[in-house]
């Protein structure tokens, strides 16, 4: 049996070697899935672009694992508002019912409801409709008007009574009542 | 009775309109002399920046048009536009609005010019049509495929005239070439090559939020797109290089030249069945639209259409049709061909073939005549939607970097869930396509 050759000792570049910094940077290259949570307005979005390319080019069999990474990113410490929006927009491409529990808390907060809808609008699953109907009573103002629009576009007629009540509620702002009126027209139109 | 309706009913019965039905091409009505105020088409502008200036100048020259109001979220722009209108009319009657919904709510406005950034087109136009206005919408018609279908549906539902601002259809050069192709003048067509200009604005990799200038309603400027703080480089004009608001030169120039290809192919109410793309997109920095465009569509007839970026610095596109008889190439500046005799033939055959394409020599006048006759304008919203769809198919294919099959009847991709989700985009509240 041939004797194994001894392991080669790691190469140590001298301090003044111009490739040393490059090599260290390469070895320390961060995980793009971890970096996306730090995105901010005007910051380097290279890692975001990497994740976006991976999501877009994923084979169907690879998407569940990517969706899981995105769900984990939503709970990552230090998640910025821009990072959160980015993750939601990636879920808009590959999200399924799996991500609904993680996104729903965002849906119920006026500050993050739009981002949540970006993630959920394209998911054809009753869990999304249920989450939307539930959020109707928790949102107000523009976020509520946007939610009503999403419900109408999804054609969820089980929300009709709730939306009609909003339409008739004089305390609601004009934008919300207008959104409700148009949603009622859409949901009651003969197809 | 609604005074607008009664006035339109009157207009429908004038001899002018009878003439319109008989002859598809017209001299602008301003040459006919003074138009009584009650017969004037009243117009409002939504968006008064860069592209709107040309439209303002043109419509101010029409005697049968009265611009009553302008709207812009930038006070500097809207005040300048209102001043221009008032100076032209010698009064102070033009009202300037910040919110387009105030303009579209006015009962005394017949038609609206939509000259806002692309992500606003559908919402502006649909709101105007819902309020009984006819609309002229700058190209590209919409940001997404779903918005385009919604705009067409609104035009039909409310019975409105909707003209797309693809004004090359109102050019004899493009009309005659398209008609020649439609009548088989080149023999069986094999492929179409389109060149569009490269991006003409660049910013570095980094940007940072800046204070919003006084008089700019930034939240309303962003509108349905995901919110992003103001930065000067991402606002006027440059919006077209940010994917949240536009699709870059694919739609900026592609909307013009792909439109001529669609016209020549007789695909005004359909489109290709396959698309594949290999573009390049910036991976960081403010701008996100393709810096290198290259995609190819294939139609059911077998014709391939390739659209790509040109790097010769020419600020124009061109479309080249290859057929059994060679090739012909048409741009805004010139027509060329593999055989110069083909160019003479194109001119000589105009209006003589079995297929006679609608003719217009003035895109604005065509819109105004359509308002009076209630006929479809030369760049009807359906045609604009189909052309913009081809642009968007290319943009989606370049991002996904895989061949896609497209069903032009259902307006859906075949067996590609991600591509189908990219046909539409969610909107920030309170905005919605509903």
Kindly list the domain boundaries of chain B, sorted by start residue: 3-168, 172-202+234-355+383-421
CA B10 to chain centre: 30
CB contact under 8 A, B434 and A118: no
Tokens 């808009």 sit on residue: A92
Q: For residue A25, what pLDDT is reported?
A: 64
Q: For residue B18, what pLDDT is reported?
A: 30
Rounded to an integer, the average pLDDT of B19-45 is 59
A38 lies within 8 A of chain B by CB: no
Rounded to an integer, the average pLDDT of B229-240 is 94
| Contact of A184 with A161, CB cutoff 8 Å | no
CB contact under 8 A, B209 and A122: no
pLDDT in tens, A119-159: 999 999 999 999 999 999 999 999 999 999 999 999 999 99
CB contact under 8 A, A114 and B401: no
- The pLDDT confidence band at residue B17, using thresholds 50, 70 and 90, is very low
CB contact under 8 A, B433 and A153: yes
The answer to whether residue B162 scores a pLDDT higher than 80 is: yes
CB contact under 8 A, A41 and B229: yes
Question: CB pairs below 8 Å between A and B: how many?
Answer: 96
Rounded to an integer, the average pLDDT of A179-185 is 98
Q: For residue B27, what pLDDT is reported?
A: 39
- The pLDDT confidence band at residue B22, using thresholds 50, 70 and 90, is very low
Which of A:106-145 have CB within 8 Å of B?
Answer: 113-115, 117-118, 121-122, 141-145
Nearest CA-CA distance, residue A34 and chain B, Å: 17
The answer to whether residue B171 scores a pLDDT higher than 80 is: yes
- B77-103 in b/e burial notation, b at 16+ Cβ within 10 A? bbebbbebbeeeeeeeebbbbbebbeb
Which residues, 6 or more positions from B209, have their beta carbon under 8 angstroms from its beta carbon? Answer: A41, A42, B229, B230, B231
Lowest mean pLDDT among A83-87, B82-86, B164-168, B197-201: B197-201
Q: What is the CATH number of domain B3-168?
A: 3.40.50.720
pLDDT in tens, B348-382: 999 999 999 999 999 999 999 999 999 999 999 99
Which one of A45, A118, A143 has the shortest CB-CB distance to B426? A118
pLDDT in tens, B337-349: 999 999 999 999 9
Residues in chain B: 434
Q: Of all residues in chain A, what percent carry a pLDDT higher than 90?
A: 83
Q: Which two tokens stand for residue B122?
A: 């559908």
Q: For residue A13, what pLDDT is reported?
A: 75
Interface of B with A (CB under 8 A): 205-209, 226-229, 231, 281, 283-286, 399-402, 417-418, 421-422, 424, 426-434
Lowest mean pLDDT among A57-66, B10-19, B194-203: B10-19
Give yes or no on whether B3-168 and B172-202+234-355+383-421 have one common fold: no
- B20-40 in b/e burial notation, b at 16+ Cβ within 10 A? beeeeebebbeeeeebeeeeb
The answer to whether residue B90 scores a pLDDT higher than 50 is: yes
Residues of B in contact with A114 (CB under 8 A): 226-227, 426, 428-429
CA B280 to chain centre: 25
Q: For residue B1, what pLDDT is reported?
A: 33
- The pLDDT confidence band at residue A169, using thresholds 50, 70 and 90, is very high
CB contact under 8 A, A145 and B229: no
Q: What is the mean pLDDT of chain B?
A: 92
CATH superfamily of B172-202+234-355+383-421: Dihydrodipicolinate Reductase; domain 2 (3.30.360.10)
């Amino acid at each position: 049996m041939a004797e194994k050759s001894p392991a080669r000792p790691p190469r140590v570049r001298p301090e003044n070697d111009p490739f040393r910094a490059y090599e260290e940077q390469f070895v320390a290259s961060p995980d793009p899935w971890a970096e996306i949570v730090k995105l901010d307005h005007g910051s380097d979005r290279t890692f975001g672009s990497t994740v976006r390319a991976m999501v877009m080019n994923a084979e169907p069999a690879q998407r569940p694992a990517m969706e899981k990474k995105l769900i984990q990113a939503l709970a990552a410490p230090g998640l910025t508002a821009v990072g959160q929006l980015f993750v939601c927009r990636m879920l808009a491409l590959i999200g399924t019912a799996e991500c609904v529990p993680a996104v729903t808390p965002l849906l119920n907060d006026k500050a993050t409801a739009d981002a949540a809808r970006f993630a959920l609008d394209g998911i054809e699953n009753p869990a999304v409709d249920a989450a939307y109907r539930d959020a109707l009573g928790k949102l107000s103002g523009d976020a509520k008007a946007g939610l009503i629009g999403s419900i109408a576009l999804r054609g969820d007629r089980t929300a009709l009574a709730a939306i009609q009540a909003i339409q008739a509620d004089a305390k609601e702002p004009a934008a919300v009542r207008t959104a409700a009126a148009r949603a009622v027209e859409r949901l009651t139109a003969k197809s | 009775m609604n005074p607008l309706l009664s006035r339109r009913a009157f207009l429908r019965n004038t001899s002018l309109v009878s003439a319109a039905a008989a002859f598809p091409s017209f001299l602008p009505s301003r040459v006919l002399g003074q138009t009584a105020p009650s017969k004037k088409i009243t117009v409002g502008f939504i968006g008064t920046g860069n592209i709107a200036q040309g439209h303002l100048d043109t419509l101010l020259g029409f005697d049968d048009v009265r611009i009553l109001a302008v709207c812009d979220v930038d006070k500097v722009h809207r005040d300048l536009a209102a001043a221009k209108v008032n100076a032209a009319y010698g009064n102070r009657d033009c009202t300037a609005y910040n919110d387009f919904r105030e303009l579209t709510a006015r009962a005394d406005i017949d038609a609206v010019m939509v000259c806002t950034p692309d992500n606003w087109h559908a919402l502006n136009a649909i709101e105007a049509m819902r309020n009984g206005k006819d609309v002229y919408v700058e190209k590209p018609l919409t940001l997404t495929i779903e918005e385009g279908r919604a705009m067409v549906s609104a035009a039909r539902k409310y019975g409105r005239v909707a003209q797309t601002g693809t004004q090359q259809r109102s050019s004899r050069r493009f009309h005659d070439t398209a008609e020649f192709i439609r009548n088989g003048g080149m023999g069986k067509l094999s492929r179409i090559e389109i060149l569009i200009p490269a991006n003409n604005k660049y910013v570095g990799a980094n940007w940072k939020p800046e204070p919003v200038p006084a008089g700019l309603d930034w939240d309303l400027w962003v509108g349905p797109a995901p919110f992003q703080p103001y930065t000067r480089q991402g606002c006027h004009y440059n919006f077209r290089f940010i994917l949240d608001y536009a699709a870059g030169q694919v739609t900026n120039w592609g909307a013009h030249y792909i439109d001529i290809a669609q016209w020549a192919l007789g695909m005004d109410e359909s489109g290709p069945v396959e698309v594949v793309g290999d573009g390049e997109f910036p991976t960081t920095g403010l701008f996100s639209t393709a810096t290198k465009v290259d995609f190819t569509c294939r139609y059911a007839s077998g014709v391939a259409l390739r659209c790509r970026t040109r790097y010769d610095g020419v600020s124009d596109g061109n479309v080249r049709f290859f057929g059994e008889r060679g090739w012909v190439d048409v741009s805004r500046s010139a027509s060329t061909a593999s055989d110069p005799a083909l160019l003479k033939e194109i001119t000589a055959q105009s209006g003589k073939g079995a297929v006679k394409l609608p003719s217009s020599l003035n895109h604005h006048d065509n819109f105004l005549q359509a308002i009076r006759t209630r006929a479809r304008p030369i760049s009807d919203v359906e045609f604009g939607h189909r052309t913009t769809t081809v642009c968007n198919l290319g943009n989606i294919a370049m991002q996904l970097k895989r061949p896609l099959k497209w069903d032009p009847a259902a307006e859906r991709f075949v067996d590609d869930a991600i591509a189908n989700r990219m046909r539409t985009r969610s909107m920030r509240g309170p905005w919605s396509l509903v």
